Structure 1
Amino acid sequence: MCELGSKPAMALCTHTPVPSTYPSASSVPPAGPFESFVDTSFARIMSRVGALPEGKSNPAFATSPSSAELGSAVINVHLVSVSSKVPLDAGNQQLVQSELGPNSNYDPYQHRAVRHPTNNTETMLHLLKGSLGTGILAMPNAFKNAGWIIGLFGTLFIGIICTYCIHMLVTCAYVLSGRKKVASLNYPQTFEEALRQGPGILPKLAPYAGHFVNLFLFIYQTGTCCVYVVFVASNIQSVVNYHTQVNTDVQIFMLYILLPLILLNYVRNLKYLAPFSTLANIITITGFTITLYYILRDGLPEAADRHMFGTLEGIPLFFGTVLFALEAIGVIMPLENNMKTPVSFGGATGVLNRSMVIIIIIYMGLGFLGFLQYGDQSAGSITLNLPDTEILAQSVQLMLALAIFITYALQCYVSIEIVWNIYLSPHVKSKGYRITFEFLVRTLLVLLTFLLAAAVPNLELFISLFGAFCLSILGIVLPTVIQMATFEQDRSGLRLAKNTFLIVFGLVGLVTGTYISIKDIIHEFFTHHPH
């Protein structure tokens, strides 16, 4: 197994088969519920950037005296023996033979050792929580760009595409794990292994696969942090400006929260962030509920009073916003690999489909209702449409600003892991300078998100840009390429047509969404910063 920081690109590490059990639980102290939650959360984030095998804790953290110097939040892992093996029933055996081939008897599900496996309900709740963020508050604005007819059917269509691509990615990861005879592969490893087994020039590109995925993950996570900075500052601005009757620029409020954000990102151990994350989840649910109350409180206008179709230029912005809101590609594989019964994740009535049906309905519903209520005034976050004069509405804005402020640290954590742990830390040989350089990297990453947000404090454009640019690649194009490389022997006309459509759809969305967003961002920049 690759040790943390052992290579410039840990995402490219290849892993030996994961043993079926860890050391006996009797040899180590049991982990409490809080430690279990923290360790599981940490493992998911680390596996997201390829630092750990999916669904497995890193034993080096428990034994290495220098682990605190490796630039990551270190958790004292208590290794326990927990088996997540799935009985190899007839249905599962049929799946193995159909996907891996009749001569294969290696089922990756049978070789996973997960410290704290989640059941189907827990996995579903984690997936719902991972998909319901700031993006849902931007859905009325997305409907404004597309019109409510395209908004409804477009959200449904994009949701189906995203769900199907997730199925492809999970299936390919399972098949490639079986061929490689390892328990699981994370996203960068899956892409690398697919290219390695692919035809033509693809094997030569395999060594760069992990870098490519990490680049887009970094851009996406950094972009999400920019969105969070704008969101927090804009909601605070709305409340403060009302009470002071002074029109203070949003950049001033960004400056106010800059130092707290830097200090928050100096927390190197997720153990100390976990309680605040739970608080943020409670606040978020409360804020969403009150927001829905305001949407419905005074009744809704007739749908005929709102435009059914948006402008041609608005469609790419709609595409990027919906992708940003719906896509949870970063958490899918850690969740599936951490399940007690991972075979239940897929399938027509599996955890993924049930979760995505709920998510799509919620997004369609809030987008449609919010657009009916606020029409062309729908802001980049619907909280900015709430009445400034009411204390309850102001409390929602401040509550959600606090929740997103807390969540910023977790989002930025992934960027820090990629930049520092994977690429920079291995090159810092001096232990005396390691901590100094790590905190410098943490500071610079926060400053980067602050400067980008302050330059163009437009929530809807940031959401659309990073949704179109990053998630069309990570969520649509790459899973399709992975499937084509994994099953390159299957060149049926139907599969070729389907995969061609998905790649073209993703690339068109990427190009048009990115172009329109950047064009509007440039216009916004020169509007706020005239010569």
Structure 2
Amino acid sequence: MPVAFKSAGLSVGVFATVLVAIVCTHCAYILVTCAHELYRRTKVTMMTFPDVGEVAFATGPPWGRKYAKCARVSILIGLFGAYFGTCSVYTVIIASNLQQVIDHYTGVVLDERIYIATLLIPLIVLCWVPNLKMLAPVSMIANLFMGIGLGITLYYLVWDLGSPADLPQFGSWYALPQFFSITIFAMEAIGVVMPLENNMKTPQHFVGICGVLNLGMSAVTMVYILLGFMGYWKYGLATEGSITLNLPTEEFAAQSVKILIALAVYCTYGLQYFVCLEIVWNGVKDKVDPKNSRFYEYVVRTLLTTSTVVLAIAVPTIGPFLALIGALCFSFLGLVIPIFIEVVTFWEVGFGKFYWKIWKNIFVIIFGLIAMVTGSYTSVLDIISLYTEEPVQTPAGNFTSNSTLF
């Protein structure tokens, strides 16, 4: 979030984060509302995100029914791309934090790609955990590490602050798409909306003014604004892709934060990875010998994990890589897809007085497409700059070359 604020500016970052939170929350609300309507039509009590998309088109207007399978496949591709990219970004974050600590104590500065490559075996071991139930204790440890790391990080951020008026209140038009891409990546959780609602004891409490969705997103938004504002206020244009990378490496408390966050992200990797694994394995398990299905499952696990590490080695940068995933995958998955689902679900029911739902959906579609197109474009340019010798203008407005980026 601090690097997102670096792209938007201090004041614009606050208001734009609230805007992104409202749009993301509303799209999650749309998805759940459509699911409830489809439950009533089909007499079922539970659906996944791909199920909602397929059934919405299959039971919607006649012109849309032929696109039911296409809707399901599109959602599965979007989910896979989003969480596969997230796993690769997590790999870079783990390596970057560990690199600073190890380089400090050894005095040997190695290429970040070496650290990423050494994570392959530990990540494969983690991804061989049979099911999510066995990952629950690992998730609890990750939450503990993340909480301690967050507390120590905030301690560093509140000291020796300058005047916020000295920082740009607005970044630049070029950098603004990266702000939205990174913030959408951070806040968008459309992939867990339906699993969460499906596993609640009282699903009717998920939506509503004081429902789980609004309360949870309000708390998340406040934390993200606090971290983004304080981090950018503290480090200004020197803000790194992960705020922990700005902490002084020579101090023990800062070193502990880097290690704790690296371990927390490592533990969380497994949870994100299982989304990718489920999609891939469900697509291939019927094509392998049932007698050796367990063997082939672990082959798929190994190849999938290796692919995320290879992608991280190819693009060992946090900010632009993270922005690309947010723009390309989460904007499409979390903003564009729910709008189409709502349109086909309520096509015959109506869209309210003066078609207000249509006008609202047009705004969200435009917002999502602009974030997807411009965010992807600027992120790709920044990634390409890693492999060019000529200086390019970065979102912060300064000029750099691949020597400084590496």
Give TM class, smaller chain.
Answer: over 0.9
Of 265, 270, 276, 1:404 maps to: 265
Q: Is the contact between residue 321 and residue 463 of structure 1 (CA under 8 Å) also seen in structure 2?
A: yes
Q: Which residue of 1 aligns with 2:327?
A: 468
Structure 1 segments of 4+ aligned residues over 4 angstroms from their partners: none
Partner residue of 1:457? 316
The separation in 1 between residues aligned to 2:230 and 2:35, in whole angstroms, is: 38
Q: Structure 1 residue 362 and structure 2 residue 223: aligned?
A: yes
Larger gyration radius, structure 1 or structure 2? 1
Report what 2:76 is aligned to. 214
| Structure with more relative contact order (C-alpha pairs < 8 Å, separation 6 or more) | 2
Q: Are 1:477 and 1:502, in contact at CA under 8 Å, matched by a contact in 2? A: yes
Q: Give the CA deviation at 1:324.
A: 0.7
> Following TM superposition, by how much is the alpha carbon of 1:436 offset from its aligned partner in structure 2, in angstroms?
3.0
Confirm or deny: 8 A CA contact 1:456 1:525 kept in the other structure: no
Aligned partner of 1:336 in structure 2 is 197
Unpaired runs of at least 5, structure 1: 1-138
Structure 2 residue 154 is matched with structure 1 residue 301: no
Residues 270/355 of structure 1: CA separation in 2 closer, same or farther (3 Å cut): closer
Q: State whether residues 477 and 507 of structure 1, in contact with CA within 8 Å, keep that contact through their aligned partners in structure 2.
A: yes
5+ residue gaps, structure 2: 390-401
- Structure 2 counterpart of 1:468, one-letter code: A
Alignment map for 1:187-266 (pairs within 5 Å): 187-266=49-128
- Counterpart for residue 360 of structure 2: 498
Matches within 5 A, 1:73-472: 139-296=1-158, 298-420=159-281, 422-432=282-292, 434-472=293-331
| Paired residues of 1:174 and 1:184 also in contact (CA < 8 A) | no
How far has the Cα of 1:200 moved from its partner? 4.7
Query: How far is 1:270 from its partner?
Result: 3.1
CA 317–202 in structure 1, closer or farther in 2 if over 3 Å, else same: same
| 8 Å CA contact 1:142, 1:318 repeated in 2 | yes
Q: For 1:274 and 1:345, locate their aligned partners in 2 and report how far apart those are by CA, in whole Å.
A: 22
Offset from partner CA, 1:433-470 (integer Å, 9 cap, x none): x2332222111111111111111211111211111111
The answer for the alignment partner of 2:399 in structure 1 is none
The one-letter code matched in structure 1 to 2:243 is I
Q: Give distance in 1, aligned partners of 2:332 and 2:198.
A: 22
Q: Distance in 2 between matches of 1:314 and 1:412?
A: 30
**Cα gap change, 1:429/1:413 in structure 2, threshold over 3 Å: closer, same or farther?**
same
Q: For 1:461, give the aligned amino acid.
A: P
Q: Which residue of 2 aligns with 1:522?
A: 384
- Return the alpha-carbon distance in structure 2 between the equivalents of residues 199 and 367 of structure 1: 44
Measure, in 1, the Cα distance between the counterparts of 2:226 and 2:343. Answer: 35
CA deviation map 1:334-356 (0-9, x unaligned): 22222222222211122211111
CA deviation profile, 1:210-258 (whole Å, cap 9, x unmatched): 2111111111111010111000000000111111222211111112211
| Conserved 8 A contact 1:196-1:202 | yes
Whichever residue aligns with residue 334 of structure 1, its letter is P
Query: Which structure dedicates a bigger proportion of its chain to helix?
Result: 2
* Alpha-carbon distance in structure 2 between the residues aligned to 1:351 and 1:197: 28
- Secondary structure of 1:273 counterpart: helix
Q: Deviations over 1:80-122 (max 9, x none)?
A: xxxxxxxxxxxxxxxxxxxxxxxxxxxxxxxxxxxxxxxxxxx
TM-score computed with the length of structure 1 as normaliser: 0.71
What is the aligned-residue RMSD (CA, Å)?
1.5
Q: Distance in 1 between matches of 2:133 and 2:42?
A: 34
Structure-2 residue corresponding to 1:483? 342
**Residues of 1 paired with 2:301 and 2:253: CA distance?**
36
Q: Is the 8 A contact 1:344 1:350 kept in 2?
A: yes
Number of aligned positions between the proteins: 388
State the distance in 1 between where 2:92 and 2:378 align.
20
Provide the rounded CA distance (Å) in 2 between the counterparts of 1:273 and 1:344.
27
Identity %: 45
CA distance in 2, matches of 1:232, 1:180: 45
Q: Deviations over 1:11-40 (max 9, x none)?
A: xxxxxxxxxxxxxxxxxxxxxxxxxxxxxx
- Residue identity in the other structure for 2:23: I
